[in-house]
Amino acid sequence: MPQRIIPRVNGPRVRIRTLILGGAFFATIWYLLQGLKLGDVSLESVRLEKHMNSGPLSHPYKFVKSSVDWGKLTPKYPPEKPFTPLPPAVSSRRIPKLPRVQHQFGPETGEFHQKRHNRRVAVRQLAVKSWNAYRTYAWKKDALLPLSGAGRDQFSGWAATLVDSLDTLWIMGMRDEFDEAIAAVAEIDFGKSTTPNVNIFETNIRYLGGLLAAYDLSKREILLQKAIELGDLIYAGFDTKNRMPVDNILLGPIKAGEGLQVEPQVVSASPGTLSLEMARLSQLTGNPKYYSAISRITDLFHAGQNQTALPGLFPMWVSMSKGDVISGNTFTLAGCVDSLYEYFPKMHFLFSGAEPKYLALTRNFLSAAKKYLLFRPFVPQNDDILMAGNRNVDIQTNNPYPIDPETEHLACFIGGTYALAGRLLSSPEDVSVGAKLTRGCVYAYKSFPTGIMPERLNMAYKSHLPKGFTTAKDARYILRPEAIESVFYMWRITGEQEWQEAAWDMFKAVERGTRTEKGAASVVDVTVQPGDIEREDYMESFWIAETLKYFYLVFSPPDIISLDKYVLNTEAHPFLRPAV
């Protein structure tokens, strides 16, 4: 930036003005320093923002075009035109402004500020260690093997951990690492894959979500270019007879212009979790085709929501080939369905309420889940907590069986979703439900000897059963983020101190349980004593992308990734909401 030349002007008015401005300057500095002593949140935010703001590159990079231009392929089944336009991203009399989501935080005391700062530093240190291990032993691989010191590909070989972690590097002020990672992203060839098929769900949430969020934060143009390449590949997954997406994109037939065949059945989260990323890509590019593609999926779920065996909820398995989201007798909020529900209020939020279908989908699912899937377990101290269970429906009579009190770590996202939706819908009751659900997962963490909740467990909920847990069907901890995700939302939405304390207890347990010399490793059995922990040779990409990011944000100033400015996808990638 060129230096400004200020002409020299003599005279008493200038000197007096200089004295006044100088005094004001020093007074401001004194005030800010006092604020820092007292733990002023806004000043610390400014310092963190300086780390997050765009600046000169420390690693040069050059865009490398993928070997296949997915956007230029001629589809076998062309989409109908005109495309469905994006909803307007502005408020109006027809579209009232949404309520504030995040708690209005005030100044901190010095003691509280220092404690929070120290905890954030501890989280960042673990993230740096994990990233350095990935960079050393698994660079450009999808995942790190932290015990053997090697890498592994599982999601097409496009460096899943690297792309998934981009926004975490940026948020934590790891500027050199971020720029080095972008240089590697520039060389990814989305025309080639280590497997003949590409999973549309994982590609969307980890890769496309990671690229879009990193672009929203840094405005590095190359990230948007790569996001468009990948978005065009995902869009090619809609080249089917009924323009519904496949679960796995077969690259050979697409390249040959043969189109794709939709699988007979897929888990409902697969098509239901394409909306947020594709809509954001349309917002950023101005190209409506991505949103138009997913809007047909939304229409299908919206039309069928109240026709299922448990009205308001969707079965675990759906058929995109038949356009059937109604049939099915297994219902859950956990794996296979989770992010379908998560995206209803988040799409409502991204569009600032301009598409009423998402509001209806949100309200109906919240009400139905309370009626059919949430239960209060019997625990020794009779804590006022909730858990999310499962329900099957009798195919012959269409009557639901009693609730199955099995839950999963994956289901722990639901507390944060209830709290977010409760704020958006001005429903204190749903915020309260979110708090009870989150306390349920915190309770599960505290209850096991390692301080970590297992992957899958059962709890007692009938009065004739002993109080507490009945099984730990899957005793692993595979670095999942869902519990700390809901703790993060509860902290940012309510401002209640219990959530930061819960987060710190969880972090200490997770750090201790997963610790290795080379990053962090999954835990084989969380039901053993801490000294008996065994670890698996695996570190998922969401460890850095989600779990550590949520811990870090709990202990960061609340205007870093404010919940009123950003919508986080199911992989914790923050998308900037269009200005309202």
Consecutive H or E run containing 296: helix 289-304
The active-site residue, picked from 142, 338, 342, 540, is 338
User: Which pairs from 103-108 meet CB under 8 Å and 24+ separation?
Assistant: 103/492, 103/493, 103/494, 103/495, 103/558, 104/495, 105/41, 105/495, 105/558, 107/35, 107/38, 107/39, 107/40, 107/41, 108/38, 108/39, 108/40, 108/41
Whole-number Å distance between alpha carbons of 130 and 541: 10
What residue spans of 138-174 are helical by DSSP H? 160-164, 166-171
Please tell me whether 570 is known to bind a ligand.
yes
241/566 Cα distance (integer angstroms):
36
Amino acid identity at 314: F
Residues in Cβ contact with 480 at an 8 Å cutoff, skipping those fewer than 6 apart? 409, 410, 455, 542, 547
Active-site position among 44, 177, 202, 485: 202
How many C-beta atoms surround the C-beta of residue 157 within 10 A?
Answer: 18
The 8-class DSSP code of residue 70 comes to: G
Rounded distance, CA 390 to CA 127, Å? 35
Cα 34 to Cα 27, 179, 514: the distances in Å are 11, 35, 40
DSSP class of residue 205 equals I
Q: Distances in Å between the alpha carbon of 51 and those of 44, 56, 178?
A: 11, 12, 11
Q: Is 338 a catalytic residue?
A: yes
> Among 108, 482, 485, 571, which one carries the catalytic annotation?
482
- Residues 455, 485, 540, 571: which is the catalytic one? 455
**The one-letter amino acid at 406:** E
* 3-state secondary structure (DSSP) of residue 428: helix
Nearest to 278 by CA among 343, 218, 322: 343
Q: 382's torsion region: left (phi>0), alpha (psi -120 to 50) or beta?
A: left
482 is catalytic: yes
- For helices 356-372 and 289-304, the axis angle rounded to 10 degrees is 40
Query: Among this protein's residues, is 202 annotated catalytic?
Result: yes
- 108 tagged catalytic: no
Residues 153 and 194: beta-carbon distance below 8 Å: yes
Cα(567)–Cα(570) distance, rounded to whole angstroms? 10
Helices (H) and strands (E) in the chain, counts: 21, 15
In angstroms, the CA 225 to CA 277 distance is 15
Is 405 within 8 Å of 389 (Cβ atoms)? yes
**Bind-site residues for Ca(2+):** 570
List the catalytic residues.
Answer: 202, 338, 455, 482
**Residues tagged in the binding site annotation:** 570
